[in-house]
């Protein structure tokens, strides 16, 4: 053995024959605490025996017959590798017709004349001894006569219609079917009771051999090989049973206990057949080992109770069946030790801001100490909602901030004592390049400058270095580096490349790069710039499970350097024809290591980019199908909501094909009640997005998780979400409902909340139903219309607006959840107080006389109480629309008609009318009415004739107008000649400053005009047939002009004259014609 170790060295070369050391070896390590033993190690010498001499007769057969050339190599250790060659050591060609079986024999489904040769030689290579043995050559002669008749397939191996095969778990299962026939049969494979695993199935030897790697018990079953040619089909069924040497489900682990504690060792293997378990103590079978009252064996578990220090020992678990065995050592150490912290005291940790900080606290003790961390001198224990406390005592701050700086104390406790240790944490600002070097194009012989400005924590000292193409800068005086710049003078072609600025501190490092392109001086004519030509010659190398290397040759850059290459991929298995962005690399790279996802049939293409634009994509690379793997993520948007009171509908967003990572995507749906002690219930469903759990209690919280799996395995443990089973209608109505009436139109309702358990769902709020049962002043026969108000959340009061005064209301309250409403509370009755009434419904003026008007009205539509009286106010309106004195009159509430007497005749009155209750006066309604005109004077006016419409009068007016025009012309002429006329003389004599020049619009002289003479007359308004005076009617009447009138009328009664002594009113609205001014006044203007 080597000194200081347990390694045993056997030098066979100098210490005898290998056979001398053949046997089973086992290592035992022992000290005062116990003994551990190793697995059995079997040592066997390799053997490569010679072939036995035999005389082989030549084989002669007809063209088309089948042939089997036996190899039967000598049995060696390990078994040899068989292959067939000729005398020139050239491998014999194989095909679907000629192939080598698993046993080494060479099979011909049918022979051809070219199969004739004398040197069919079987070779056996013994790798361990590095020797090759050969069999005597076999001579085969095919008579090239007329070929044999065509025939259907028959199996050369295996024989018969069925056979059995056993294989061990984890090995490679190899199934072989070789058939003869003419023409040559084709072999196919199926699994009768399932499908062949896609990523673990391979076909060898021209599909005559089916191989399944990493076999498990699930691969047991019946496999069928099918041989087919033009003349028939045959089948052979191979029943496969997968056995298993023992393997661990739970292996025993070392156990550290303190005196008086309890513990257990678990040894749980599996295998086929089921392994037998035996226990040993310190290498001795436990049945004959010294008795220990603290231990008890229960099958695959040793239970320790109230252990003492003498219970320390090494236990071995041996699990074996006919195919192998397992042996595991577990040290049970009974130890009483107070806590000890192994991390150095006052260790200083420096971390860059926004990065994780890990503060170590290595510890030891028995019983196992509990670890707590504190910040500062008087800080409380740090909680796991912000920090991560690892089992080894390390405190992790996932995202360290400036305020994380400080002293942290680690405290280890067990029942034997307490240990503390303080460490310091400092948070530093990250190093940043705030001004990065930029891409540059420089002509040969020029100078270029790259800038790199760094910002860093003031307590850290940065070092800035420059690299060219990831290597050191050339040792050349043309390269000058100062604080923030790299300057390259007299640039040559070799200076082109990527220049990188790297800023390092003791805690972090950042870098930024820029490409320098060196071009020749601009030629004449100037070059043509264009997008690059596409890359070509794409090649995939270094094929790994989750990565591959892609290389390409760039196309011409068309006088503009390529700045980057964009790599895209297509997944022809899941999204054929759709290209996705994979990555980008620098324009000087021609290879890229690509990270891949499992179970994707990749093909790639590359696009080159320069300052002009993008090239067309390259030709597509070859396809690369990655191996399947278990999913690396779980479904998202997991929810649990009930659609019925007794179910739970679990939904999720399923993975897409790219995320499945393999075939056979399924989901393991698990659930259990949140507040119960039930175990998880699980079910595996197909690639769907919903599962319904039936028979659940109503509205109970459930913990839910959905885990993805495929044929390879399970995704990581999923997150647990909380859902609820279905809701049902609430069972209980709100209690203690009472109403506070705020005013005649507003009330406030209060109620007690419903217990949460009786809601049986998510509380949506409370709903108030209220309706007017009747009006207190009169009974309503209308249909009762209920109003609804909903108050969200857990409110216990609400306001009822828009109530009608003096009304009788009923109200009830119901709780609402996601399912609907609960029962109503008992109706509460309340009354609203009186309010002011609305305006009377109508007001009409009827039966007007010379001195009286009668008013009729309808009571208010909404009295809002008991009417006490009506108030009527009225006042006269004179001809200038001025209001006279206001008269106030009270009318009993039971009246709907009232006559006003002793009024002025032919006078307009305005009325204001409103009702009153005990609460006050309501809105008013207004109306206007006119007393009638004196009939005698109206009759006299009607006999007058309106001469304005007579023909002779119109002719006279035209003559007068002509005379006036002649007079104006004469005056104008005399004035221009300097002559004077009477009016002119008068003007010159008095020089009145008020005299106005002639008006241009009507030709009259200002000082002689009368403003009143030219105002148009108004027509009188007529009273409607129903004698009701409308507000919009004209206020004018001929009665206004009845007395003191010096006017003239035509025989038809039309008015043609001018009123004297009364100022005319403005024109009234309505269908009245525009009348011409009086001709008499027109003449007077010039007198």
**DSSP string for residues in 443-481:** ETT--EEEE-EEE--TTS--EEEEEETTEEPPS-TTEEE
pLDDT, residue 333, reads 87
Q: Which of 3-12, 617-626, 710-719 has the lowest mean pLDDT?
A: 3-12
Mean pLDDT estimate for the chain: 83
Binned at pLDDT 50, 70 and 90, residue 906 comes out as confident
- 103 token code pair: 């046993």
Residue 604 has pLDDT above 60, yes or no: yes
* Alpha carbon distance 120, 515 (integer Å): 64
Mean pLDDT of 587-602: 92
Q: Judge whether residue 393 has pLDDT over 60.
A: yes
863 in Cβ contact with 901 (< 8 Å): no
pLDDT at position 722 over 60: yes
Q: Which of 136, 127, 137, 46 is nearest to 80 (CA)?
A: 127
pLDDT at 1061 over 70: no
Contact by Cβ (8 Å): 727, 760: yes
Predicted confidence at residue 1077, as pLDDT, reads 38
User: Using H for helix, E for strand and C for coil, what is the string for 853-877?
Assistant: EEEEEEEECCCCCCCCEEEEEEEEE
* CA atoms of 249 and 244, how far apart (whole Å): 13
Residue 614 burial (10 A CB sphere; 0-12, 13-18, 19+): middle
Confidence band, pLDDT 50/70/90 cuts, at residue 482? confident
β-sheet with 746-752: strand ranges across? 735-743, 746-752, 797-800
Cβ 1068 vs Cβ 1036: under 8 Å: yes
Cα angle 604, 607, 612; round to 5: 175
The rounded distance, in Å, linking the Cα atoms of 242 and 214 is 11
Token output for 744 = 């005649």
How confident is the model at residue 337, as a pLDDT?
Answer: 86
Q: Does the pLDDT value for residue 500 go beyond 90?
A: yes
Three-state DSSP state, 344: coil
Q: Which residue, among 644, 652, 732, has the nearest Cα to 696 in the 3D structure?
A: 644
Average pLDDT over residues 455-462: 88
Q: What is the pLDDT of residues 1005-1058, one digit of tens each?
A: 333 334 334 333 333 333 333 434 344 443 433 333 333 333 333 433 333 333
Extract long-range pairs of 480-486: CB within 8 Å, 24+ residues apart: 484/435, 484/451, 484/452, 484/453, 484/454, 485/449, 485/450, 485/451, 485/452, 486/437, 486/449, 486/450, 486/452
pLDDT over 60 at 812, yes or no: yes
pLDDT at 586 over 90: yes
Q: What is the dihedral of CA 624, 627, 631, 636, to 10 degrees?
A: 10
Name the DSSP class of 1051. T
Angle, alpha carbons 114-120-126 (nearest 5°): 145
- Sequence-separated (6 or more) residues with CB below 8 Å from residue 747: 739, 740, 741, 799, 800, 803, 809, 830, 832
Answer positive or negative: Cα dihedral of 776, 781, 782, 785: positive
What confidence score (pLDDT) does residue 1050 get? 40
Task: State the pLDDT at residue 16.
Answer: 67
Which pLDDT score is estimated for 990? 43
d(CA 600, CA 582): 13
Q: What percent of the chain has pLDDT over 70?
A: 86
Confidence of residue 140 (pLDDT cuts 50, 70, 90): very high
Backbone angles phi, psi at 565, to 5 degrees: -115, 135
**CA 180/CA 161 separation, integer angstroms:** 15
- Cα 972 to chain centroid distance, Å, stands at 96
Element (H, E) at 942: helix 935-943
- Give per-residue pLDDT as tens, 164-180: 999 999 999 999 999 99
Determine the Cα–Cα distance for residues 216 and 241; give it in Å rounded to an integer. Answer: 10
Q: Is the pLDDT of residue 562 over 80?
A: yes
**In 3-state terms, what secondary structure has residue 1019?**
coil
- What's the pLDDT at 949? 56
Beta bridge partners of 77: 47
pLDDT at 948: 55
Structure tokens at 530: 């264009």
Q: Which two tokens stand for residue 237?
A: 């069924």
Least Cα distance to 956 among 1056, 1052, 1055 occurs for: 1056
* Beta-carbon contacts of residue 835 (< 8 Å; ≥ 6 apart): 744, 745, 805, 806, 864, 865, 917, 919
- Tens of pLDDT, residue by residue over 75-112, are 878 888 898 998 888 889 999 999 999 999 999 999 99
Q: What is the pTM of this model?
A: 0.42
Give 978 or 328, the one with higher predicted confidence. 328
How far are the Cα atoms of 795, 852, 918 from residue 895, in angstroms, in the given order?
Answer: 49, 18, 18
- Tell me which of 1069 and 653 has the higher pLDDT: 653
| The two structure tokens encoding residue 729 | 């209608």
Query: Please, are residues 761 and 730 in contact by the beta-carbon 8 Å criterion?
Result: yes
- The CA angle 229-235-236, to the nearest 5 degrees, is 135
Within 13 Å and on the Cβ side, how many CA atoms surround 439? 11
Q: 36-40, 372-376, 569-573: which has the minimum mean pLDDT?
A: 36-40
| Local confidence band at 667 (pLDDT 50, 70, 90 cut-offs) | very high
Which stretch of 329-333, 336-340, 1026-1030 has the lowest confidence by average pLDDT?
1026-1030
Stronger pLDDT, 12 or 640, i.e. the higher one: 640
What tokens appear for 309 in the block?
């220090």
Average pLDDT over every residue of 425-430: 92
**CB of 473 closer than 8 Å to CB of 495:** no
Residue 499 CA to residue 876 CA, distance in Å, equals 103
pLDDT at 1001 over 80: no
| CB contact at 8 A, 636 and 643 | no
Tokens of 124: 């056996």
Greatest CA separation for the chain = 175
Residue 995, pLDDT > 90, answer: no
Other Cβ atoms closer than 10 A to 860: 22
Q: pLDDT tens digits, residue range 908-967?
A: 999 999 999 988 899 999 999 999 876 655 545 444 445 555 677 888 888 999 999 999
3-state DSSP: the chain helix, strand, coil percent, rounded to 5? 10, 45, 50
Percentage of the chain beyond pLDDT 90 is: 48
pLDDT value for 476: 87
Pairing, β 395-397 against β 357-359: antiparallel
- pLDDT confidence of residue 925: 93
Selected residue with higher pLDDT from 1064 and 866: 866
148-to-8, 59, 179, 785, 997 alpha-carbon distances in Å: 65, 17, 17, 102, 145
pLDDT tens-place string over residues 263-282? 899 999 999 899 999 999 98
Pick from 977, 1000, 1013, 979: nearest CA to 1087? 1013
Give the burial string for 351-361 (b: 16+ CB within 10 Å, else e): bbbeeebebbb
Residues 406, 331: contact at Cβ < 8 Å? no
Specify the pLDDT at position 819. 87
- Looking at residue 1064, its pLDDT comes to 37
Condensed to tens digits (0 to 9), the pLDDT of residues 398-417 reads 999 888 899 999 999 988 89
Rounded distance between C-alpha atoms, residue 916 and residue 837, angstroms: 7
Mean pLDDT, rounded, for 592-602: 92
pLDDT above 70: residue 394: yes
User: What pLDDT band is residue 814 in, cutting at 50, 70 and 90?
Assistant: very high
- Residue count (the chain): 1087
Task: Count the neighbouring beta carbons within 10 Å of the beta carbon of residue 381.
Answer: 12
């Amino acid at each position: 053995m080597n000194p200081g170790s347990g390694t045993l060295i056997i030098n066979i070369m100098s210490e005898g024959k290998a056979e001398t050391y053949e046997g089973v070896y086992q290592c035992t390590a022992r000290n005062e605490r116990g003994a551990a033993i190793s697995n059995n190690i079997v040592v066997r010498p390799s053997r490569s025996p010679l072939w036995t001499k035999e005389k082989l007769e030549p084989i002669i057969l007809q063209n088309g017959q089948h042939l089997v050339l036996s190899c039967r190599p000598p049995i060696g250790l390990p078994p040899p590798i068989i292959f067939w060659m000729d005398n020139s050591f050239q491998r014999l060609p194989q095909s679907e017709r000629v192939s080598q079986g698993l046993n080494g024999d060479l099979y011909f489904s049918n022979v051809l004349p070219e199969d004739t040769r004398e040197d069919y030689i079987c070779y056996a290579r013994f790798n361990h001894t590095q020797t090759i043995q050969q069999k005597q050559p076999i001579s085969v002669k095919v008579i090239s006569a007329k070929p044999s008749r065509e025939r259907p397939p028959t199996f050369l191996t295996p024989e018969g219609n069925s056979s059995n095969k056993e294989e061990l778990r984890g090995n490679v299962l190899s199934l072989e079917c070789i058939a003869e026939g003419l023409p040559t049969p084709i072999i196919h494979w199926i699994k009768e009771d399932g499908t062949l695993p896609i990523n673990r199935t391979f076909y060898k030897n021209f599909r005559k051999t089916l191989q399944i790697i990493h076999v498990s018990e699930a691969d047991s079953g019946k496999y069928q090989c099918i041989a087919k040619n033009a003349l028939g089909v045959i089948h052979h069924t191979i029943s496969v049973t997968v056995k298993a040497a023992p393997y661990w489900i739970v292996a025993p682990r070392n156990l550290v206990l303190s005196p008086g504690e309890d513990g257990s060792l678990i040894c749980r293997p599996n295998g086929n057949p089921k392994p037998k378990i035996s226990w040993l103590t310190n290498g001795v079978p436990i049945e004959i080992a010294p008795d220990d009252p603290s231990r008890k064996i229960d099958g695959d578990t040793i239970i320790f109770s109230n252990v003492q220090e003498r219970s320390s020992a090494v236990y071995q678990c041996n699990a074996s069946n006919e195919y192998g065995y397992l042996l595991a050592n577990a040290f049970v150490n009974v130890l009483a030790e107070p806590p000890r912290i192994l991390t150095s005291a006052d260790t200083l940790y420096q971390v860059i801001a926004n990065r994780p900080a890990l503060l170590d606290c290595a510890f030891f003790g028995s019983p196992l100490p509990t670890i707590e961390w504190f910040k500062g001198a008087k800080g409380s224990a740090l909680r796991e909602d912000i920090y991560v406390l690892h089992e080894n005592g390390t405190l992790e701050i996932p995202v360290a901030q400036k305020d994380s700086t400080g002293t942290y104390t680690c405290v280890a406790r067990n029942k034997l004592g307490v240990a503390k240790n303080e460490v310091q944490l400092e948070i530093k600002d990250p190093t940043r390049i705030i001004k990065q070097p930029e891409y540059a194009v420089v002509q040969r012989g020029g100078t270029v400058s790259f800038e790199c400005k760094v910002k860093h924590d003031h307590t850290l000292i940065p070092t800035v270095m420059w690299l060219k193409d990831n290597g050191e800068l050339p040792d050349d005086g043309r390269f000058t580096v100062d604080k923030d710049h790299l300057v390259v003078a007299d640039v040559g072609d070799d200076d082109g490349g990527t220049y990188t600025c790297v800023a390092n501190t003791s805690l972090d490092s950042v870098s930024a790069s820029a490409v320098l392109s060196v071009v020749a001086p601009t030629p004449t004519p100037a070059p043509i710039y264009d997008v690059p030509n596409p890359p070509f010659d794409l090649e995939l190398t270094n094929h790994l499970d989750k990565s591959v290397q892609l290389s390409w040759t760039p196309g011409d850059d068309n006088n503009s350097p390529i700045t980057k290459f964009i790599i895209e991929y297509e997944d022809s298995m899941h999204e054929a024809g759709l290209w996705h962005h994979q990555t980008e690399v620098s324009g000087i790279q021609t290879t890229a290591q690509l990270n891949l996802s499992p179970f994707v049939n990749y093909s790639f293409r590359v696009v080159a980019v320069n300052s002009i634009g993008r090239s067309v994509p390259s030709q597509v690379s070859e396809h690369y199908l990655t191996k399947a793997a278990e999913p690396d993520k779980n479904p998202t948007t997991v929810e649990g909501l009930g659609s019925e009171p007794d179910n739970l509908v679990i939904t999720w967003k399923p993975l897409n094909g790219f995320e499945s990572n393999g075939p056979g995507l399924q989901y393991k749906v698990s659930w259990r009640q949140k507040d119960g002690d039930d175990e998880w219930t699980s079910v595996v469903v197909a690639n769907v997005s919903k599962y319904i759990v039936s028979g659940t209690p109503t509205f109970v919280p459930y913990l839910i998780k959905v885990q993805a799996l495929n044929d390879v395995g399970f995704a990581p443990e999923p997150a647990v979400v909380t859902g609820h089973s279905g809701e049902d209608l609430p069972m209980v109505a709100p209690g203690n409902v009472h109403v506070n009436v705020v005013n005649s139109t507003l009330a406030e309702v209060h109620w007690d909340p419903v217990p949460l358990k009786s809601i049986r769902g998510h509380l949506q709020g409370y709903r108030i139903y209220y309706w007017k049962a009747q009006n207190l002043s009169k009974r309503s026969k209308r249909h009762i219309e209920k109003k609804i108000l909903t108050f969200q959340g857990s409110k216990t009061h609400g306001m009822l607006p828009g109530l009608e005064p003096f009304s009788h209301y009923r109200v009830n309250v119901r709780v609402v959840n996601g399912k609907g409403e609960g029962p109503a509370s008992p109706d509460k009755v309340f009354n609203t107080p009186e309010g002011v009434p609305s305006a009377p419904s109508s007001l009409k003026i009827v039966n007007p006389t010379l001195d009286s008007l009668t008013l009729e009205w309808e009571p208010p539509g909404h009295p809002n109480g008991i009417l006490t009286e009506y108030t009527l106010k009225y006042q006269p309106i004179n001809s200038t629309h001025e209001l006279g004195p206001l008269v106030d009159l009270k009318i009993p509430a039971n009246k709907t008609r009232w006559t006003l007497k002793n009024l002025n005749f032919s006078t307009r009155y305005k009325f204001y009318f409103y009702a009153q209750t005990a609460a006050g006066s309501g809105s008013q309604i207004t109306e206007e009415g006119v007393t009638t005109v004196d009939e005698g004077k109206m009759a006299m006016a009607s006999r007058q004739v309106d001469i304005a419409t007579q023909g002779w009068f119109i002719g006279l007016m035209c003559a007068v107008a002509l005379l006036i025009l002649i007079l104006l012309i004469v005056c104008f002429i005399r004035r221009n000649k300097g002559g004077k006329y009477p009016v002119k003389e008068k003007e010159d004599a008095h020089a009145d400053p008020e005299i106005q020049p002639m008006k241009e619009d009507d030709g009259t002289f200002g000082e002689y005009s009368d403003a009143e003479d030219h105002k148009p007359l108004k027509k009188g308004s007529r009273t409607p047939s129903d004698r009701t005076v409308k507000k919009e009617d004209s206020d004018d009447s001929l009665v206004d002009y009845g007395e003191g009138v010096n006017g003239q009328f035509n025989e038809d009664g039309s008015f043609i004259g001018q009123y004297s002594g009364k100022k005319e009113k403005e024109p009234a609205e309505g269908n009245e014609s525009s009348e011409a001014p009086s001709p008499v006044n027109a003449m007077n203007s010039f007198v």
